[in-house]
Amino acid sequence: MRPAKITAEHNPLRDPLDLRLPRIAGPSGLVIFGVTGDLSRKKLMPAVYDLANRGLLPPGFALTGFARRDWADQDFAQVVHDAVKEHARTPFREATWRQLAEGIRFVQGSFDDEAAFETLRETVEKLDAERGTGGNHAFYLSVPPAAFPLVVGQLAKSGLARSEADAWRRVVIEKPFGHDLASARELDAVVSEVFPPESVFRIDHYLGKETVQNLLAVRFANQLFEPLWNANYVDHVQITMAEDIGIGGRAGYYDGIGAARDVIQNHLLQLLALVAMEEPRTFDAPELRAEKIKVLSSVRLPRDLAKHTARGQYAASWQGGERVVGFLEEEGFNPESTTETFAAVRLDIDNRRWAGVPFYLRTGKRLGRRVTEVAVVFKKAPHLPFESSLTSELGNNALVIRVQPDEGVTLRFGAKVPGTAMQVRDVTMDFGYGHSFTESSPEAYERLILDVLLGDPPLFPTREEVELSWEILDPITAFWAKQGQPEPYASGTWGPPSADAMMARDGRTWRRP
């Protein structure tokens, strides 16, 4: 007996008043290349299950894995089952699993195996007939960047990239999008020969995070903030992505890439664009993207990169009560490696709104704690009718948007200390998602996979955004390449002394989240 179809209308986890992810994908399937990797196991497969569990996938949805493993369909289904049990956000429901498992397929092969892609084409066609996927399939390339051209070429050769009638075929590419401007353009040339621009989805999972979306809400839904969101009132902006872990077993990926290419080029420059852009007429993809492109086109590098950039490598030290090794002692790394694990840079924006307001971007591994935040730091009041001793503990007002791990918004401002004296010091008002909403936020990959299946691209960087980001970063990495070894910093601290010196030259200091 076949299990009952689960639809949005009678799925008990699908609240009709839930406006967070209200759209439901039409008939479709997802093919994952690199399905045996960590990203697939920890993020992609659980996200697919969570979407199904919330009634946001069609009943006939199909999930196909492609890898070298000698698996049958049921072997792959067990892998998906285990990944879901361990990493899914929503509770495990047997009815949801049975429904999803009916559409799970696996194709064995390597990326240079034309016969395997022919088998994949046949599998997709059978799914169209058996599951009613309607010829609509997205191909998720969870593979190393060097394999992108090969996989895309095989999709073209086998006919898998070609859509018929009203059906669609889409390709999803994980970062990094190249390692510099030239390679990004080469990659785009390969992909655009096979897929039209509207069918190419470049994944930056940070743009799917709830708090990144909230950045737009804070700015444009509140009259309280937008009038102050300019050079008249803002002193500077700090955007931080800090990790408390080291490289671990990622030597093969990370060496030669480094913190700037891994994080600043995509995550942090995208956050900068959302913070600094003008208000779009709507949040439709073309208008949102146009405003981001305007901002990235206006970014200006500092004249003296030696004074306004910093890079470092974490050294052996104590972190969290544990003795940890330095970057150069990590397994698989060249002891002479000049790859940075910490990067900081000052950028300016040449437009009327932000003239004279520096944007400081920093990222690093083995830092004091795991946190991603955007801090908009306001200028001090032009006149304080208090004795200086009474405001000695008063800093700049700041609006801090926390992206992870404790998603929310903090507003820092001055208030009187209880007592007979008019003493003023900093206090904070805090909004936390966990305190204000009973619902748990969707994972970033849930939102992004659903957007791919819907063909809704506002959260995905365009070719122009990627190229502008590399135009900003390439001169910095070229300058660093001539500077020799990065500056060491003790694990568990907030980076090398040169990063603090960079801020001190401007009369500012880094926040300590």
Residue by residue, DSSP assigns 34-84 as: STTSHHIIIIIHHHHHHHHHTT-S-TT-EEEEEESS---HHHHHHHHHHHH
- Does the annotation mark 267 as catalytic? yes
Alpha carbons 480 and 309: distance in angstroms, whole number: 9
Examine residue 144 and say whether the peptide bond preceding it is cis (omega within 30 degrees of 0).
no
Nearest 5°: phi and psi at 508?
A: -130, 170
186 is in an annotated binding site: no
Q: How many CB atoms lie within 10 A of CB 193?
A: 12
Q: How many CB atoms lie within 10 A of CB 89?
A: 15
Query: Cβ–Cβ contacts within 10 Å for residue 466, how many?
Result: 26
- Distance from C-alpha of 52 to C-alpha of 202, rounded to nearest angstrom: 23
Amino acid at 279: E
Nearest to 453 by CA among 151, 29, 132: 29
Q: How many CB atoms lie within 10 A of CB 404?
A: 16
Q: Is 429 left (phi over 0), alpha (psi -120 to 50) or beta?
A: beta
According to the annotation, is 383 in a ligand binding site?
no
DSSP annotation of 294: H
Q: Known binder of ligand: residue 209?
A: yes
Phi, psi dihedrals of residue 293, rounded to the nearest 5°: -65, -40
Q: Report the Cα–Cα distance between both ends of the chain, in Å, rounded.
A: 56
Check residue 255 and give its pLDDT.
83
Q: Is 447 annotated as a binding residue?
A: no
Domains of the chain: 29-174 (3.40.50.720), 207-442+478-505 (3.30.360.10)
Measured CA distances, 417 to 380, 389, 498 (Å): 19, 13, 36
Q: What is the pLDDT of residues 237-276, one digit of tens each?
A: 999 999 999 987 676 678 889 999 999 999 999 999 999 9
Confirm or deny that 262 is annotated as ligand binding: yes
Contact between 486 and 311 under an 8 Å Cβ cutoff? The reply is: yes
**What is the predicted pLDDT for the residue at 434?**
67
Q: What is the pLDDT along the chain (513 residues), one digit of tens a residue?
A: 333 333 433 343 444 445 444 688 999 999 999 999 999 999 999 999 999 999 999 999 999 999 999 999 999 999 999 999 999 999 999 999 999 999 999 999 999 999 999 999 999 999 999 999 999 999 999 998 889 999 999 999 999 999 888 899 999 998 888 899 999 999 999 999 999 999 999 988 878 777 777 888 889 988 989 999 999 999 999 999 999 999 876 766 788 899 999 999 999 999 999 999 999 998 888 899 999 999 999 999 999 999 999 999 999 999 988 999 999 999 888 889 999 999 999 999 999 999 999 999 999 999 999 999 999 999 987 756 655 555 555 688 899 999 888 888 998 877 777 866 667 777 788 887 666 665 666 788 999 999 999 998 877 899 999 999 999 999 999 999 999 999 999 999 999 999 999 999 999 999 988
Active-site residue, selected from the candidate residues 179, 267, 383, 435: 267
Pairing relationship of beta strands 408-416 and 424-432 according to DSSP bridges: antiparallel
Q: What mean pLDDT value characterizes the chain?
A: 89
